[in-house]
Amino acid sequence: MKYIIILGDGMADYPIKELGNKTPLMAANTPNIDELCKKGRCGKLETVPLDMPPGSEIANMAVLGFDVKKVYQGRGVLEAASMGIELNANDMAMRCNLVCIEDEKIKNHSAGHISNEEAHELIEALQNELETDKIKFYPGVSYRHLLVLKDGKTNIDCTPPHDVPGTPFKDVMIRAKDEDTTTADILNNLIVRSQEILKNHPVNKKRIAEGKDPGNSIWPWSPGNKPEMKTLQESYGISGAMISAVDLLYGIGKYAGMKAIKVPGSTGLYNTNYEGKAKAAVDALQEVDLVYLHIEASDEAGHEGDYELKKKTIEYLDQRVVKYIMEETEKMNEEIAIALIPDHPTPCELKTHTHDPVPFIIYHHGEEPDGVLYYNEEDTKEGFYGLLKGDEFIKKLLKQ
């Protein structure tokens, strides 16, 4: 048997008045997902323990069966792995966003979804002005970059910028958890100095002239050291492939021993190459046992608070990904199990992630369905699997 996990990032939500008190999943027209639901068995999964932050890195690691309490070291180390950056034991890696600060407040976490080309120019300016033998910047994708601090200490409290839009940035700067403030001081100094360097950069002047948000500050967060993680082969005896638009996911995939498949036109937004990703997922089943197809678009719509866009991204997932995968896997000689799941909710009213359990479908060919007719946050509560936690989801999918 082979397996596809279709991961709709941040797809779950809360009821929205403007959608008739329905969630985007309930309001969206999703005949193919509902067909999968009718054929399969449903449940809810608690991906993130309540005493951990509900970040995408923790949630996706849980879906893949990692014991997040044991192995989680922050998203910076995962993104470093995806970029091919080798970390030493004393290196601290951090996600480093380019953000937009306006009137001393964090306007958004993405510098208005800055382009790769523009972002790389800004990171290059920071490399030229701020790098030392202990401080290194690495350009990533759009607003998502990497900062590595040699001998940095992870005893710091950092605030994810997507959690605090509209907050004065000085209120949420980095704090030490104990008396040693060295690392926090270095990082806060970098934030302030980055603002001086980026303020009048030609890229930002041009963006402002075009009515776009500038990338006028860095925001480092999610610190960690190199983690100890087992591969899928070691844990479950299977090979895997990762398809995403997000470095973070490729980093998880690298530690999990998964093949990285990059699809041209993958943007991480509503305009991503849905068809290309769906085809790549089906093709990858010729080579590996499990394909993890990660689609970011619904999460970004949730962070924007745009429920109509979120509904549309779910319909795109239904018509341009799920339909193709269901049709093509039916033609294959081998039995293919299909799962559909978000990693966490990103409710439009909150514009950030929550801990609520997420709805899932697992379809095994020939298995009696559980009678759930529609895939959404409410109906799946009545499903066969009930409420699962942590690695229980992947074990049910793999029947282990």
Q: Are residues 181 and 323 in the same domain?
A: no
Q: Are residues 240 and 389 in the same domain?
A: yes
Query: pTM here?
Result: 0.84
Q: Are residues 128 and 269 in the same domain?
A: no
Question: Which of 205, 224, 243 is the last residue in one of the domains?
Answer: 224
Across the range 301-328, mean pLDDT stands at 97
Across the range 34-59, mean pLDDT stands at 96
In a domain, 9, yes or no: yes
Q: What CA–CA distance (Å, rounded) separates 92 from 77?
A: 8
> What confidence score (pLDDT) does residue 262 get?
96
The total number of structural domains that make up the chain: 2
Lowest mean pLDDT among 72-76, 193-197, 213-217, 370-374: 72-76
User: Which residues contact residue 173 at a Cβ distance below 8 angstroms, ignoring those fewer than 6 apart?
Assistant: 188, 191
The pLDDT of residue 219 is above 90? yes
Question: Looking up tokens 């014991």, which residue turns up?
Answer: 67
In a domain, 183, yes or no: yes
CATH of the domain at 350: 3.40.720.10
Q: Are residues 179 and 41 in the same domain?
A: no
Question: Looking up tokens 């008045």, which residue turns up?
Answer: 17
Per-residue pLDDT band for 75 (boundaries 50, 70, 90) equals confident
Q: Are residues 209 and 180 in the same domain?
A: yes
Question: Which of 224, 257, 287 is the last residue in one of the domains?
Answer: 224
Per-residue pLDDT band for 141 (boundaries 50, 70, 90) equals confident
Q: Are residues 219 and 245 in the same domain?
A: no
In a domain, 84, yes or no: no
Chain Cα centroid distance, residue 311: 18
In a domain, 78, yes or no: no
Across the range 222-248, mean pLDDT stands at 95
> What confidence score (pLDDT) does residue 99 get?
98
Per-residue pLDDT band for 247 (boundaries 50, 70, 90) equals confident
Per-residue pLDDT band for 290 (boundaries 50, 70, 90) equals very high
Question: Which of 224, 239, 266 is the last residue in one of the domains?
Answer: 224
Q: What CA–CA distance (Å, rounded) separates 10 from 348?
A: 10
In a domain, 162, yes or no: yes
Domain assignment of residue 388, given as a range = 2-71+228-398
Please say whether the dihedral angle defined by the alpha carbons of residues 84, 214, 273 and 311, taken in this order, is positive or negative.
Answer: positive
Q: Are residues 253 and 376 in the same domain?
A: yes
In a domain, 267, yes or no: yes
Q: Are residues 217 and 239 in the same domain?
A: no
In a domain, 79, yes or no: no
Q: Are residues 98 and 57 in the same domain?
A: no
* pLDDT tens digit sequence for 149-193: 999 999 999 999 998 999 999 999 999 999 999 999 999 999 999
Q: Are residues 56 and 107 in the same domain?
A: no
Share the mean pLDDT of the chain: 96
- pLDDT above 90 coverage of the chain, percent: 95
In a domain, 169, yes or no: yes
> What confidence score (pLDDT) does residue 229 get?
92
